[in-house]
Chain A
Amino acid sequence: MAALEQLLRLVLSEAFLFYVFSGLAVASALGVVLQSNPVHSAFSLIVTFCSLSAIYGLLGAPFIAVLQIIVYAGAIMVLFLFVLMLLNVKREAPRAGRALAAAALLLGLLFAVQVGTTLSGPGLTPAAGYDASTQAFARQLFSPRFVYVFEATSILILAALVGAVVVAKKEP
């Protein structure tokens, strides 16, 4: 019984679940890049989004976790897949341009240096009195500090929507 409880404690501990989901996220992110079939890549990306959402949940931010699934996995990726299926995109031919590879390597190195300096710098401490509940999130979002930016973003999205309709509409 004690051994069982110990096992449960391990499996349900935050650290263990974090490693499971971050491993899944990294593996499926690699899948997005390495697969040649675009539909398979899209499905890998969905798995990445879902594991990210699980990590947000582990961080104690259920609202962000759910939004991650609704917006990215549930809405954006469905549209991606819909377009891929409608256009019937075929398997991509591998084209390893030398310039492209060099650029990728350079950017990767840059990113590694950035992450390294951030992690080896002064330890990151969570902000004092940090509250990730939905109410606290809403109070922040609609406070005078963020509300104008938030509303401006919604106007931007509306403009993009109207633009897309205008472009897509055929001449009468």
Chain B
Amino acid sequence: MTPALQEFLLILLKVVIITQLLLGLFSFMTLAERRLLAFMQFRLGPNRTGPFGILQPIADGIKLFFKEELMPASASAWAFFAAPIVAVTAAFMAIATVPYGPPFRIPGTSISVTPQIADLDVGLLFIFAITSLGVYSVVLAGWSANSKFSLLGGLRSSAQMFSYELSLGMSFVGVIMLAGSFRISDIVASQAGWFWNWNISPSKQLLAGVVYFISAAAEVNRTPFDLPEGETELVAGYHTEYSSMKFALMQMAEYINMITVAVLTTNLFLGGWNPGLPFLPVGGLWGLGYFAAKTFFVLFVFIWMRGTLPRFRYDQLMNFGWKVLIPLAALNVLGTATLVAVFKW
């Protein structure tokens, strides 16, 4: 086997493993979300299918598979079909440039592996670009069904997504300035050492971290920004006319996006795979462990928020995004730029 072929196979293997892990994590998250929400509301949640209900996601999957696939008679067929594909493709592509841990060697061999599919020079910008393409699934879904509720829901959600994209993008800038690179592994490296070196600490980018987390929650339609979920008062949204597997794919894209946000929060603000205490071991599988722990914590916070906060009204949502988050993000960019330029922070 030549080195070129070996490298190709390694990349292929990474793609397969990460895709499968994400799919597994997605189905686990649907269960974890329902069980944790139930716990917060003094209920039991789904606990009948298998021990602790762990087979519930499989049962849900089978159910969705055998549901009838409906398409409105006057829908635009190709767009109706393309919307879930765009959603899932964008969700999976965005996570391709994220590192999950430090490079490690496979035991017993001399092959060194970086737990990351592609280490791009412009990694963070690439993720931003791909998530901005994800808006098209909402636009397509809302437009193609040729129904009033879908169209209004699509307009509502796409307006929400590109309003919050602005503050999301600006919250990256401070982090990029401090690390001096768009490469995510460089950003993680800039947070090594004690936990006060993490970007979330008040001496670095706490404001950007808060703005990022709120904007990202709005980007992935999580509570308190989950207007498409409001089926009682708003007739859900862009996915009103979707059923069966197409609906499941839309849901899957949302969960994968949420996982991407959690992974990015860990990398950009919570120190990535650095444990934050310099006396702890960092190499190899340890790093992966710290990374997973932090990511699961962020995912838990998302579920926690859903169990705690009520939903925004639409005008409040827009006011908050444009009049609070964007000015705060701009302030952070100006402040960080001044400190970096004048005081060589």
Q: How far is the CB of A31 from chain B (nearest CB, A)?
A: 12
Cβ of A85 and Cβ of B142 under 8 Å apart? yes
Could you give, for residues 127-141 of chain A, a 1 whenever the CB lies within 8 Å of some chain B CB and a 0 otherwise? 000000110000000
Given that A69-B132, A69-B133, A75-B132 are contacting pairs, would A134 and B122 also be in contact in the complex, using a CB cutoff of 8 Å? yes
Q: Does any Cβ of A come within 8 Å of B1's Cβ?
A: yes
Instruction: Give the total of B residues in contact with A, Cβ under 8 Å.
Output: 30
Chain A residues near B232 (CB, 8 Å)?
Answer: none
Of B121, B133, B143, B158, the contact of A134 (CB 8 Å cutoff):
B121
Q: Does any Cβ of B come within 8 Å of A102's Cβ?
A: no
Q: How far is the CB of B116 from chain A (nearest CB, A)?
A: 16
Cα(A8)–Cα(B155), bound, Å? 43
Q: Does any Cβ of B come within 8 Å of A52's Cβ?
A: no
A residues sitting closer than 8 Å to B (CB atoms) are 1, 4-5, 8-9, 12, 39, 43, 46, 50, 62-63, 66-67, 69-70, 73-75, 78-79, 81-82, 85-86, 133-134
Cβ of B121 and Cβ of A70 under 8 Å apart? no
Cα(A12)–Cα(B120), bound, Å? 18
Of B4, B122, B140, B162, the contact of A66 (CB 8 Å cutoff):
B122
Cβ of A8 and Cβ of B5 under 8 Å apart? yes
Main secondary structure of the interface of B (DSSP, over half): helix
Given that A133-B121, A134-B182 are contacting pairs, would A70 and B132 also be in contact in the complex, using a CB cutoff of 8 Å? yes
Q: How far is the CB of A65 from chain B (nearest CB, A)?
A: 8
Cα(A1)–Cα(B6), bound, Å? 11
Of B8, B120, B139, the contact of A81 (CB 8 Å cutoff):
B139
Chain B residues near A133 (CB, 8 Å)?
Answer: 121
Q: How far is the CB of A131 from chain B (nearest CB, A)?
A: 12
Cβ of A85 and Cβ of B139 under 8 Å apart? yes
Q: Does any Cβ of A come within 8 Å of B305's Cβ?
A: no
Chain A residue with Cβ nearest B161: A78
Q: Does any Cβ of A come within 8 Å of B125's Cβ?
A: yes
Cβ of A70 and Cβ of B129 under 8 Å apart? yes
Cβ of B151 and Cβ of A75 under 8 Å apart? no
Q: How far is the CB of B38 from chain A (nearest CB, A)?
A: 37
Could you give, for residues 135-155 of chain B, a 1 whenever the CB lies within 8 Å of some chain A CB and a 0 otherwise? 110011011000000010011
Q: How far is the CB of A149 from chain B (nearest CB, A)?
A: 21
Q: How far is the CB of A85 from chain B (nearest CB, A)?
A: 6
Chain B residues near A81 (CB, 8 Å)?
Answer: 136, 139, 143
